[in-house]
Chain A
Amino acid sequence: MDGKVKEQKRHQQKQSGPQAERKKLKKQGGSREEDARKRNPKAFAVQSAVRMAKTFHRSQDIKMKKHHIPLVDRTPLEPPPIVIVVVGPPKVGKSTLIRCLIKNFARQKLGDICGPVTIISGKKRRLTFMECSNDINTMIDLAKVADLVLMLIDASFGFEMETFEFLNICQVHGFPRIMGVLTHLDSFKDNKALRKTKKNLKHRFWTEVYQGAKLFYLSGMVYGEYQAQEVKNLGRFISVMKFRPLVWQTSHPYVLVDRMEDLTDPDRLRTDPKCDRTVSLYGYLRGTYLKNKGQVHIPGVGDFQVGDVNFLPDPCALPAAQKKRALNEKERMLYAPMAGVGGVVYDKDAVYIDLPASHVDQQQDEVRPNTELVQSLIDTHATLDEKMAASKVSLFSGSATLEPAEEGGLGEKCVWDPTTQRKRRKVVFTGEEEEEEEEDGSGSSDDEDGDSEDSDQEQDDDEENLSTYLKEARAGCDETEKTVADAPPVKRPKLDVGKGESAEVPVFADSEDDLEMSEEEEEESGEEGEAGRAGDSGHCSEEEESEDCKEESEGELEGTGEAADATMEEQTASKSMEEEEEEEGGKYTLLGRSISPRVPIASSYKFSCLSTVGLRWKEGLRQKASDAFLRQQQAVPNLRKLVYGSVVQADDSEDEEQELGGLFRVSRPQTSKKYQANAVDSSRFHPDTSHQWDQEEMLNSIRDCFVTGKWDESQDAATLLKEDEELYGDFEDLETGEVHKNPTGKQNRHEETVVKVDDDELQKNKRLEKKQRLKERFNSEYDGGDATYFDDLKEELQKQAELNRAEFDGVDDETRVQYEGFRPGMYVRLEIPSLPCEFVTNFDPHYPIILGGLSSAEGNVGYLQMRLKKHRWYNRILKTRDPLILSLGWRRFQTIPLYHIEDHNGRHRLLKYTPQHMHCGASIWGETRSHKMDCALIQANFRIAATGVILDLDKSVTVVKKLKLIGYPYKIFKNTSFIKGMFNTVLEVAKFEGASVRTVSGVRGMIKKALSTPEGAFRASFEDRLLMSDVVFLRSWFPVSVPQLYNPVTSLLLPVGQKDSWAGMRTLGQLKHDLGIRYMPNVDSLYKPVVRTKRQFNRLHIPKELQKALPFKSKPKLQQPKGKTPRDLQRPSVIREPHEKKVAALLHALSTVHNFKRKKAHQVQHAKHKQFLQQKGKQEEAKLKRQKESRKKLYRVMGQEDKRKQRSSLKGASKDD
C-alpha cells in the first residue's frame, strides 16, 4: 500500500520432514487408490442402499448449508468509506491504534481522535475510523453502522466484560466483520506464558465469533506507538477485507455524521438561547438510497423530518483511475472535520478553509497541514470556479436565513457557552488570541460568497460589510451590524436560494428547448392556454383535440368561472413572482419557475376540454392526424413536467415564500386544482373521441398489434425459418464428398450480388447475430442440464443487478437523485430544521451521530410481540412491568414489557418473571418496524439483560392473566345450589351465564341464572350434591393492557461528560431502594416452618363375639407376656421378727419332715402299684390265652358242622337223582 512494493516471499517447498513425506506418499499412492477400486470391485460395491442414501443426503445437506440466500447486488460503483469501529475497554490502546493506522495510511499524525476520521487507503478503498468509547449507548449505535470492528483486547488482562457486551450487541444487530487485536503483549516476560495466553484468548474469541476468526497480535509499543511493521500488516488485512452485506444496513440509508454546523438565526439565538436549532449534518451516505424529505432517526436524540438533502463534492475523493499501483503522496487524503483536519471544505453555499495549526494539538506536525492545505487548494481549483459561479446566484437571491453566523464543527475541543455569541466565538479561537493576524486570515478565508479566488486578499471587515450590505439589499431585514460583527468569522455558511435551485436544475436539463419554445409562444400569445397545450400535449393522445379545443374553449373557460379565475390568479401570481425576481436582480431567468406554475393549468385545461367541449370536436379533428405526430414530438419532454410539474412548483412556491420573508403568500396550487378537486373519482380512462374506429386508416393503425399483423424482421416466422435453414441447410456429405447447398442461401447470394457490396456490413451483422444465437443455444443446452433453482435465482438476481446499474448510468447526478434518491457513496448534507438546542450546546464529537433513515411505516407506534430470552450471563430474572431499554432498529428506547408464555391453545398467559433458561414472549409498546433482531438492556453487572426477536406487530394485545372468582353455596337442593359472593350485580352474572364452575373437591357445574336477592347470587347446577363447606370457583382469563411507555434514550442531549448517565424510568426495585420502602408482604403469604402434631388413634375394638370366632393368630393378645415384673409391681421384701423367724424355721422344718414322709409313702405306694399292675397283666394274659383256646375249639366245631351240612345237602341231591 505504500510506494515501494516489496517482493513477496517465495513459497519454499519442504524437502524433508513429515509434510514432505506425506506429499511424496500421496504422489505415489494417488493412482494406487484407483487401482484398488479396479482390483477389488466387490469391496466398493453398494452394501446398503439406505446408508448410501443417507450419505448422499448428508453430503447434499453440507453442500446446501454453504449457500447463502442470494441477494441482488446493490453495492454502488463508488462505495462509501468502510466504517471501522475500534472498540475495547478503556486504556487498551484504541486511540493509539487509530493514530498508528492513520499514520500508516495517510502519513499524518492526529492528536485527539474526535469523531470519524476518513482516509484513503488505496486506489479503490476509503476507510472511516471511529473510536467507540466504553459507553453502552455508543456501542449499540456503532454496532449498527460498523462494517468492520477492530476489537482490542488487553492480553495482559484477558477478556473484559465490555468485549462480550459488544459481541452480544453485534450478534443481535447483524454481525459485522470482527477482527480481534491483542495488545499489551509486551507485558509478558515469559514466552511460554505468552503463547499460552494467546492460545487461550484465541480459542475463546473463536467460540464467540466463528472458528478461525482473525486475531491480530500487536506485540509492543515503541515510543508510544505500535511497531510500524505490525501496523502495516494490520493495514493490509483491512484493505483487502471483504464484507458480506448485512440486511439491516443494506435496507436502510444511514449517515455517520462527520461534520455538524448550526444554521440557526443568531438573532433568534440571542433572544431565546433555548430555541430549536436548525442544523446541517454532513457525512457519507451508506446503506441504500435516501429519499429527500424523509424521516430520520438520530439515535440518542429522536426522530426528525429532514428539511433538505444535497449532495456535495466528495471531500475525500478516490483518486482518478491511473495505471500505477500505489497512491502518491498527494492522494493520501485525510478528512476529519471534527478532529480539525479537512483542509478546504466546500459546502452548498460556502467554502470553509481550516487553518489546522490553530485547532489541532500542539504535538501535530507543523509542516504537513500547511502543505496539505495548499495541495488541496491546488487539487480542487476547477471545482472552485464552478462553485463560484453557482454561489453568485446565492448571493443575490439568498434567503433571510443568510445571517446565521455559525459555530463550526471545530469547536468540539471546548465546552462552549451558548448564552452569548461572543463567548462562543472566543471558544473557537481560544488558542489564538495572541496571533491576531492569523485569526484574521482564517476569518477571511472562510469566504461566504464563495468568491474564493479573491478571498485570500479580502479582509475581514470588507467581507462583513459586504455581507451586511447584501442582506439589507436583499431582504430588507433589520439585521444590525452588531450581530454580524458578533457572528463568528470562522465559518459563515448561509442558506442560499439553494433549495429551489437544486430542485430547479433538472427541469432545465430535461426540457430546455421545449421550455424556451413554450416561453416564446406564451409571450407572443399572452395566454395561458398556449402554455397549457405545451404542458399538456405530451401526456396522452388527446393532444389532437387540444389545439382546436383551446381556441374555442377560451371564451368558455373565462366565462364559466372557476377555472378561469384560477388561471387568472395563476398569471398574476407568476407575474408578481417574476417581478420579484427582477427586483432581486437575479441573474438567471428562472425559466423553470415561470413556466412551472402553468403546468397544472395545462392539465386543468385539458380536463375541462374533455368534459365540456370534447364532443364537439369529434368531426373536425380527423384530418389533423398527420399533425399529431409533429406535436407529439414537441411534447415529448413535457410529460414529466405534466406529471410532476405541479409538485415541483409547490416546492418552488415554498421557496419563494421563504425568500420573500413571508410577505407574499400565494395560494396558487389550490385554486388551480379546484375545478377537479371534487370530480368523480374513477379510474376509467375515457376514450379519445377523435378516434373513429369505423375508418379504415384508424383500423390500419393497429393492425400490427395482432399476431395476424406484420412481424418484426427478427421475429418474423418466415425469416426465422430461413435462418434455421441457413444454419442447418448447408452440409457436406463426407462419404460422397458431395456438397449440398441451401437453395435459399444461393438465392441470397444471388441477391447480394445484385444489391452490391453495400450489404457487406449487413451480412456481417447477420453473421454475428447468427453466431450469437448459436452460442446462446449451446450455452442453454450445456448448462441447462444441471441448473438448479439456486442457480436460476442467482442468475435472475444478477440480471436485475445489471439492470439496476445500467438504468441510470450516465444520467447526471441532479436528475438521478430525483429518481433514485441519493445513492450510497455520496457525500451529503442534511438539513434538519428543529433539533433540540441541547444537541448543539452539549455536542461532543467523541460520541457518534448517526442519521438512520426510516422507511415509511417505521415511524408509527403500536404493540409489538417479541420472543425473548434472558441473557445467560445476566444474573437475575426479569420482572414483568419493570422498564427496560430496548435497542430496536435505529432506536434505543425505554419501554415496559409484559412477559407471557403461549399455552397449548394459543393463549398468551402473563408471566410475573421471565423463565430462567427458556424463551418467553414479551409484549411492548414501541415503534412498529419490520421484523428484526433486537436486544434489551439494563444496567447491571452484565449490561445486556435479554435478547429477542420481534415476531408480530399489532394495534392490540392478547395477553391474559388467570383470575379465579370464588363463591360459597348458601342453599343446596339436590344437584342445584345457590351460590353467593362470586359476583356483585345481576349484570355480572348475566355475563357469565353458562360458564363452568367447579368446587375445590372437583364437582363440576354450570352457572344457570342470576337470583334477585342477594345481589350477585346465582343458581348453578352441579353434577353432584354440594356440601355447605364447599368452595365454588370460576376460572377466567383477564386481559392485561400493556403500559404505553415509549421513552427514547436521549443520551446525546446530555451535557458533555455525563452522556452515559441517562436515567429513565426506574424499576420497582430501584424505586423502593431509593425511597427506602421495605417490602411489606401479606402475613398470610409468608412461608413458615411446617409443624405437624402427632396423631392419636383410638384402640381397635373387636367385639367379643367376633374375638371368639377369630383364629388364635388373629385374636388380640391381651395377656402381657411374662417378663420381669416391672418395678412398680415389685413388692417390698419382708423382714421378719426373730420370733417369726423361729416360727417360720420351725414350720419349715416341720413341713420338710412332712414332705419327706409323704414322699416316702408315695414311693412305697408306687412300688406296690407296680407289682399290682404286673400281677394284673399276668392274669390278663392267661385270660386271653384261655379265651383263644376256647374260641379255637368253638370254631373247629362250627367248621365240622358246616362240612357236615354241606355233605348232607349233596347226599340229598344224589338221592333225588
Chain B
Amino acid sequence: RLESYRNNNMASQGLEYDGCNFFRQRLVLSSLSGKRVRIRNIRSKDDSPGVRDFEASFIRLLDKVTNGSRIEINQTGTVLFYQPGLLNGGSVEHDCNTQRSVGYYLEALLMLAPFMKTPLKATLRGVTNDPIDPTVDMLKTTALPLMKKFGIDGEGFDLKVVKRGMAPGGGGEVFFSCPVRRTIKPVQLTDPGKIKRIRGVAYSVRVSPQMANRLVDSARGVLNQFIPDIYIHTDHMKGAHSGKSPGFGLTLVAETLNGSFLSAEMSSTPQGQGDPSLPEDLGRNCAMLLLEEVYRGGCVDSSNQSLALLLMTLGQQDVSKVLLGPLSPYTIEFLRHIRDFFQIMFKLDVQKPSEDERKGGEKVLMTCVGVGYSNINKTLK
C-alpha cells in the first residue's frame, strides 16, 4: 500500500489540453516547469488528422535539446503525451520543416535557451522568412535586446542569418547561440520612452536587387513624416546564400530612448501562392504596420509579449513590471498557460491614454511576482 503512495506521489500530475493550437507554448512551458502534458484531439475532426510535419519537426527539435524526455504519439497522431526531461542544450543541428519558418522553432528556443544545462548552439535550416511567423530578422532585432534586459547577455549571445531561404523552398540557415543563466533578473519596464530612430532590413533573394531599394523608398515615404533618422539596410544575398525560392521582404524596427524595440515586417507572398506582391505596396504596408505597432506601443512589441511574460514569470520572487500594448490572442492564451503551469497570475492594469496625449492606444501594465525559478540543470563545480 505504501508502495503505491511512493510511486504516484513522486511526479506531479500532468495537464491536459485539447487541440493543436498553442502547441509550442504548452510544450515549452512543460519543459520548463517539469509538468507532464497531454494534448488530445489534435485536428481530430480534420480531413488529415494528427500532428503535421512541422509539429513533428518541432518535437524532434525539442527532443534534441532535452535529455530523457518521453514523447508518445498515438497511432493517428491525434494524442500527444510529453513528459519533459532535462534541458540539455549544447550543439544542435536541425532541419526545420519548411511548412513553417525557422521563426516558429526559434521562438521556442529563445524561451528555453537560457535554462539549458550547457550553452545552446543551434543551427537551424529551413525557411528563414515567411509571412506566417515572425522572421529571423525580427527576432534578432527585438527578442535579443529584450532578453538582454532580463540579464541574459554576454558572450555567445548571438543570432546570425547565415543563408536566407524564402518560403516555400527554404534553404536558409540560422545560427543561434545563447549563454545559460541560473536566475533571471526582475525588470521594471514601465516607460518605453520616445522613438529615436528607425532601422530596418530590406532583403531580396533570387530577384532583382533593385527590389530592396524600391522597398526602402516606399517605406521611407511613409515614415519620414515622423522622424528623419531612418536607415534601412538592403540585404541582397546571392548564390549559395540565397536559398531555393525567390522573394523579398522588409523588417522595420523602431528604437526608443529607453532601449525598447518595436518592429513590423512583411514578406512577399511565397512563390506560387496567391498574387505576387509589389515591392512598393509591401514597403508602404510594412511601414503602416510599424505605425500600428507604435500605436499599440508598450515596451515590448506584440510578437514578443509572451517571451517577456515568460521571463518575468521565471524571475526571482520579486515584482516585475512590463508595459505592453494590447494583448494578442496568443499572449492571452499564454497567460492562461502560465497560470496552469506555474500558478502565476498577472495583475493587469489598463492605462488609458488621456485626451490630449497623442501616444497611440491604451496600454496594459503587466505586474507579477516571479516564481523564483532557478536553473537547476546548470552544472555546479
Could you list which residues of chain A lie within 8 angstroms of chain B, going by C-beta atoms? 72, 74, 251, 274, 288-289, 291-295, 302-305, 538-542, 603, 606-607, 629, 632-633, 635-636, 639-640, 642-644, 646-647, 670, 673-674, 676-685, 687-688, 691, 693-694, 698-711, 800-801, 803-804, 807-808, 818-821, 836, 838, 855-862, 927-931, 949-956, 1046-1048, 1050, 1053
Pick from B42, B358, B367: contact of A702, CB below 8 A: B358
Check B132–A682 contact: CB distance below 8 A: yes
- Residue numbers in A under 8 Å from B279 (CB-CB): none
With an 8 A cutoff between CB atoms, is B275 at the interface?
no
Residue of A nearest to B222 (CB): A693
Q: Which residues of B contact A607 (CB under 8 A)?
A: 329
Q: Which of A646, A647, A801: most chain B Cβ within 10 A?
A: A647
B332 to A670, Cβ gap below 8 A?
no
Contact A681 B24, beta carbon cutoff 8 Å: yes
With contacts A707-B196, A857-B376, A955-B67 known, is A702 near B345, CB below 8 A?
A: no
Instruction: Pick the residue among A603, A708, A804, A857 that contacts B227 (CB under 8 A).
Output: A708
B76 contacts chain A at the CB level, 8 A cutoff: no
| 13 further A-B pairs in the complex, CB-CB below 8 A; given A72-B316, A709-B358, A859-B11 | A540-B328, A644-B335, A670-B18, A673-B19, A683-B303, A702-B291, A706-B227, A819-B367, A836-B1, A855-B372, A856-B32, A856-B371, A931-B376
A74 nearest in chain B by CB position = B317
Q: Decide yes or no: A681 and B6 within 8 Å by CB, A541-B296, A952-B380, A956-B67 being known contacts.
A: no
Residue B71 at the chain A interface, CB threshold 8 Å: no
B132 near A684 (CB under 8 angstroms)?
yes
A706–B328 CB distance below 8 A:
no
Distance between Cα atoms of A335 and B188 in the complex (Å): 42
Asked if A684 contacts B133 (CB within 8 A), the reply is yes
User: Contact at B380–A643, with CB atoms within 8 Å?
Assistant: no
Question: Which chain A residue has the least Cβ–Cβ distance from B357?
Answer: A704
B9 touches A683 (CB 8 A): no
Q: Which residues of B contact A633 (CB under 8 A)?
A: 352
Contact B188 A803 (CB under 8 A): yes
Q: Which residues of B contact A (CB under 8 A)?
A: 1-2, 5-6, 9-13, 18-24, 32-35, 41-43, 45-46, 67-68, 85-86, 104, 107, 117, 132-134, 186, 188, 194-196, 222, 225-228, 257, 288-289, 291-292, 294-297, 302-303, 305-306, 316-319, 326-332, 335-336, 339-348, 350, 352, 357-362, 364, 367-369, 371-374, 376-377, 379-381
Contacts of B10 in A (CB 8 A): 303, 859-861, 927, 1046
A644 x B345 contact (CB < 8 A):
yes
Q: Are B19 and A683 in contact (CB under 8 A)?
A: no
A949: B residues at CB distance < 8 A? 380
Q: Are B132 and A705 in contact (CB under 8 A)?
A: no
Contacts A/B (CB < 8 Å), 22 sampled: A540-B326, A541-B326, A636-B350, A639-B327, A643-B346, A681-B21, A687-B289, A704-B358, A705-B297, A707-B194, A711-B194, A819-B347, A855-B372, A856-B32, A856-B371, A857-B376, A859-B10, A861-B10, A862-B86, A930-B376, A1048-B6, A1050-B2
CA distance A682 to B328 in the complex (A): 10
Bound complex: CA A928 to CA B67 (Å)? 14
A295 CB contacts on chain B under 8 angstroms: 12
CA distance A679 to B19 in the complex (A): 8
A635 CA to B132 CA, complexed, in Å: 30
Q: How far is the CB of A791 from chain B (nearest CB, A)?
A: 18
Contacts of A710 in B (CB 8 A): 358
Contact B335 A685 (CB under 8 A): no
Whether B19 lies near A859 (C-beta < 8 A) is no
Closest A residue to B67 by beta carbon equals: A955
Determine whether the beta carbon of B227 is less than 8 Å from that of A855.
Answer: no
Q: Which residue of A lies closest to B340 (CB)?
A: A647
Cβ-neighbour of B9 out of A302, A709, A862 (below 8 A): A302
Chain A's closest residue to B192 (CB) is A705
Chain B residues near A711 (CB-CB < 8 A): 194
Q: A682-B132, A709-B194, A807-B319 are in contact. Are A673 and B18 (CB under 8 A)?
A: yes
* Min CB–CB distance B62 → chain A (angstroms): 14
Q: From A865, which residue of chain B is reached at the shortest CB distance?
A: B379
Contact A859/B257 with A677-B21, A803-B318 known, Cβ cut-off 8 Å: no
C-alpha gap A800/B316 in the complex (Å):
11
Measured in the bound complex, the distance between the Cα atoms of B364 and A639 in whole Å is 9
Query: Hey, which chain A residues are within 8 Å of B194, CB to CB?
Result: 704-707, 709, 711
Q: A538-B350, A707-B196, A819-B369 are in contact. Are A680 and B132 (CB under 8 A)?
A: yes
B258 to chain A, nearest CB (A): 12
Roughly how many angstroms separate A930 CA and B340 CA in the complex, as a whole number?
22
Q: How far apart sit A606 and B342, CA to CA, in the bound complex (Å)?
A: 27
**A702 CA to B292 CA in the complex, in Å?**
9
- On whether A688 and B292 interact (CB within 8 A), knowing A677-B20, A683-B133, A703-B358, the answer reads yes
Smallest CB-CB A-B distances: 7 pairs: A677-B19, A955-B68, A540-B326, A685-B328, A291-B343, A685-B302, A857-B34
Given contacts A639-B348, A702-B358, A708-B226, contact A251 B318 (CB under 8 A): no
Bound CA span A803–B134, Å? 34
Task: Report the minimal beta-carbon distance from B114 to chain A, rounded to whole angstroms.
Answer: 15
Is B329 touching A646 in the complex (CB atoms < 8 A)? no
Query: Do A674 and B19 form a contact, CB below 8 Å, given A684-B132, A856-B373?
Result: yes
Q: Are A954 and B328 in contact (CB under 8 A)?
A: no
Chain B residue contacts of A699, Cβ below 8 A: 225-226, 291
Name the CB-closest residue of A to B350. A636
> Which one of A288, A704, A836, A855 lies within 8 Å of B5 (CB-CB)?
A836
Q: How far is the CA of A640 from the CA of B346 in the complex (A)?
A: 9
Q: Establish whether residues B13 and A305, one from each chain, have CB atoms under 8 Å apart when the complex forms.
A: yes
Contact of B6 with A302 in the complex, beta carbons under 8 Å: yes
A1047:B6 contact, CB within 8 angstroms: yes
Contact present for A647 and B295 (CB under 8 Å): no
A673 to chain B, nearest CB (A): 7
Query: In the complex, what residues of A have CB within 8 A of residue B33's CB?
Result: 856-857
| Given contact pairs A539-B332, A678-B20, A862-B68, A856 touches B326 in the complex (Cβ within 8 A) | no
Contact A702 B295 (CB under 8 A): yes
A635 to B297, CA, bound (A): 19
A674 to B21, CA, bound (A): 10
* Complex partner residue of A950 from B326, B342, B380, CB under 8 angstroms: B380
| A950: B residues at CB distance < 8 A | 380
Nearest B residue to A927, CB-CB: B10
Do B1 and A677 touch (CB < 8 A)? no
Tell me if A677 and B86 are in contact (CB < 8 A).
Answer: no
Check if B379 sits within 8 Å of A855, measured CB to CB.
no
Partner of B372 from the list A288, A538, A639 (CB cut-off 8 Å) is A288
A706 to B256, CA, bound (A): 8
Residues of chain A with a CB closer than 8 A to B358's CB: 700-705, 709-710
User: Of B68, B328, B381, which contacts A683 at CB under 8 A?
Assistant: B328
CB distance from B246 to the nearest CB of A (A): 23
Residues A632 and B352 in contact, CB atoms below 8 Å apart: yes
Residue of B at shortest CB range from A801?
B318
When C-beta atoms are compared, the residue in chain B nearest to A290 turns out to be B343
- Verify A800–B186 contact, CB threshold 8 A: yes
**A702 and B359 contacting across the interface, CB-CB below 8 Å:** yes
- Residues in A with CB closer than 8 Å to B306 are 683
- Closest beta carbon of chain B to A728's beta carbon, Å: 25
**Interchain CB contact under 8 A, A303 and B292:** no
Q: Within 8 Å CB of B303, what residues of A?
A: 683-685
CB distance from B150 to the nearest CB of A (A): 14
Contacts of A288 in B (CB 8 A): 317, 372
Q: How far is the CA of A497 from the CA of B362 in the complex (A)?
A: 38
> Which residue of chain A lies nearest to B195 when distances are taken between CB atoms in the complex?
A706
A929 pairs with B376, CB closer than 8 A: yes
By beta carbon, the residue of chain B nearest A276 is B5
Docked pose: A680 CA to B11 CA in angstroms? 32
Contact A859 B12 (CB under 8 A): yes
Contacts of A642 in B (CB 8 A): 332
Contact of A679 among B21, B42, B291, B348 (CB under 8 A): B21
Cα distance A838–B316 when bound, in Å?
A: 38
A951 lies within 8 A of B379 (CB): yes
B68 near A956 with CB under 8 A, answer: yes
Report Cα–Cα, A693/B346, bound state, in Å: 32
